[in-house]
Amino acid sequence: MDLITLAEVTGNLSAIGYGLAAIGPGIGVGIVFGKAIEATARQPELGGRIQTLMWIGFGLIEFLALLGFISGFIFTA
């Protein structure tokens, strides 16, 4: 740290990028599971079908977070 640099942040900006990228999928996954629980509570007899649909949605949403994860490694240059 020299005299001109008053504050220094070390590390990789990708971490912040991933933090931002995780917000959306985080909310999305929360909504998916919350709604699935709600729906199952209302219609317990449809539980199996709701769970299947829930996993499909979860897979799609989770992929966004995973994209964020890998882009941190891929776009480092």
Partner 1 sequence: METFAESKSGIALFLPEDYDIIWSTVILIVVAIFFYKFFLPKFQAIFDERAAKIEGGIAKAEKAQADADAAKKKYEDQLNTARVDAAKIRDDARTEASHIIADARTKAEADAAQITANAQKSIESQQQQALVSLKGEVGALATALAGKILGSKLSDADVQSSMIDSMIDGIDKDPAGKAK
Partner 2 sequence: MAGVAAFTGAAGAVLAAQSGPEIPSIDEFLPPEIIFAGTPFAMNRIIMVRVIMTVVMLLILGITASRAKLIPGRWQGFVEWGLDYVRDKIVYEVMGELRGKRYVPMITTIFFTIFLFNLCGIIPGMNIAATATIMMPLIFAAWTFVQYWIAACREQGLLSYLKQECTPPGVPFPVLILLVPMQLIDILIIRPASLTLRLLANMIAGHLIVALCFSATQFFLILTENKMMMAAGVVTFAFGFIMTLFEAFVAYLQAFIFATLSSVYINMSYPEVD
> Is residue 60 part of the contact set for partner 2 (CB under 8 A)?
yes
Burial class of 18 by CB neighbour count within 10 A (0 to 12, 13 to 18, 19+): middle
- # residues near partner 1 by CB under 8 A: 9
Site for partner 1 in 43-72 (CB under 8 A): 70, 72
Radius of gyration of the chain (CA): 19
Instruction: Enumerate the H helices of the chain as residue ranges.
Output: 13-42, 47-74
Answer with the entry of partner 1, partner 2, none that 20 interacts with (C-beta below 5 to 8 A by kind).
none
Between the two ends of the chain, the Cα-to-Cα distance in Å is 24
State which of residues 59, 71, 74, 75 lies at the interface with partner 2 (CB under 8 A). 59
> Is residue 33 part of the contact set for partner 2 (CB under 8 A)?
no
Binding site for partner 2 (CB under 8 A): 48, 51-52, 55-56, 58-60, 62-63, 66, 69-70, 73
